[in-house]
A and B are shown apart, each in its own frame.
Chain A
């Protein structure tokens, strides 16, 4: 183990504080609890430990070997090699959230570029330096809206088609505040959400939060909803898939006050669920209520370009009880990955990825719909995810697919019991026509049994 202090330095420090041994620092802890005996197996050598961990890791199937049709919030997009290469520069890789920010100019510049790219992508005026993940960013939008109305509007209206994990996280964040009423009717996921939500908005609504494309992959026109929300004086938050924004009109065009989302599709591997990246963009008018930090560009006394923490208004080091949120850490390394990804692809590259996802998903949906017994709802407008109704229990069919090297879609019945035999498929640019043929052949084979 690496211990930076020498025995001499330790003795010096002990002398300063008037103690004679390291153990005496722990004298407040009863002796019998100080060094409890740990029931651990004998230590392994590095080589043995690596062998054991490799064996454990090999028991998993990764999406490098499987054909992946699973999405629902985390997507198997291609990550260009340059992302990982640049990410592993020691200067970025080892740095933690800058507590003395202005000496970390490289980190600040990376965050500044990230903010600029996210603001462009979402069509919003300002982006913060990032959050843990999409779910956290959604919850932060709710908190910002609640504080924006100074607690006078107490209803948060959640779209039935918001990702159920995002909804859970919002409940976790806000559930303990007695005043706040969280309205979500998850049993009604199939409902045409814009009109359903329009009817529920009133003068007590602080925020309406929707997903675009929604959890079932649908793209809906939220123009009327945006208008109804603002007519009632409330705010609108939109959780987006950032890749879809390469193709779809930005949520700012239908009146989004907050655009949030999961940044994993932007050059971050799925990694069994994390670390991921939350992004959070809003209008200038609301920046005093948002959590996290904003990096700005300026010039120093000699006229050189430099970067500073422009705004940390609601962070705890200003004054804890006045903070909107006590989350200070941003996902700097993951934000950097997304920054590199977006910079490499550019506007046209991102559009190309989005088009490939859209076209391949639509081709897959058409082919699946042709198989007897499988249904795909043709009326839905979708991006790269769609719902397939299986002729039998998804567990049986997906097990069969997995056995053949194909990771099937998400069994919606696990989240919405009434959505029996319905499966959410995701298609990314990594899926080939050959992959789709393999899938449809297998579905046909198992469907006939």
Chain B
């Protein structure tokens, strides 16, 4: 399981990469592995729409389950990864790069600070079995 050091992680298996005040959000390697083959991605928020922490950004369906991508931060949606509509498998193949889900301009930096580090997330996942 990959958990890049430069990212922070939420308890519902989202990762966040900060660039200035822009958060790129995706799902972790652990999450994609649990879901297995992902076949459909739906965006529940439109570009320019406000999002609050813990709201659903996107719904992901795999061959065995459907799961939500829950926003770990509050702010405004700047961009969604339209490429996932045609190629949902990017979430399985490349969850931390090509498989990003949304970009959000954050409004409450403390929410980001409160997320888990890679190490904390790894031990959090280890404790789930």
Contact = CB atoms under 8 A, between A and B. Distances in A.
A313 B40 CA distance: 9
A318 B66 contact: yes
B79 interface: no
A318 B44 contact: no
13 contacts: A288-B40, A288-B42, A313-B40, A313-B61, A313-B66, A318-B61, A318-B65, A318-B66, A319-B65, A319-B66, A322-B59, A322-B61, A322-B66
Interface of B: 40, 42, 44, 59, 61, 65-66
Interface of A: 150, 288, 313, 318-319, 322
Nearest to B42: A288
A318 B40 CA distance: 13
Contacts of B61: 313, 318, 322
Nearest to B56: A150
Contacts of A313: 40, 61, 66
Nearest to B41: A288
B20 to A, nearest CB: 29
B49 to A, nearest CB: 10
Contacts of A322: 59, 61, 66
Contacts of B42: 288
B66 A150 contact: no
Contacts of B59: 322
Contacts of A319: 65-66
Given A318-B66, A322-B66, A150 B44 contact: yes
A288 to B, nearest CB: 6
Given A319-B66, A322-B59, A322-B61, 9 more contacts: A288-B42, A313-B40, A313-B61, A313-B66, A318-B61, A318-B65, A318-B66, A319-B65, A322-B66
A286 to B, nearest CB: 12
Nearest to B45: A150
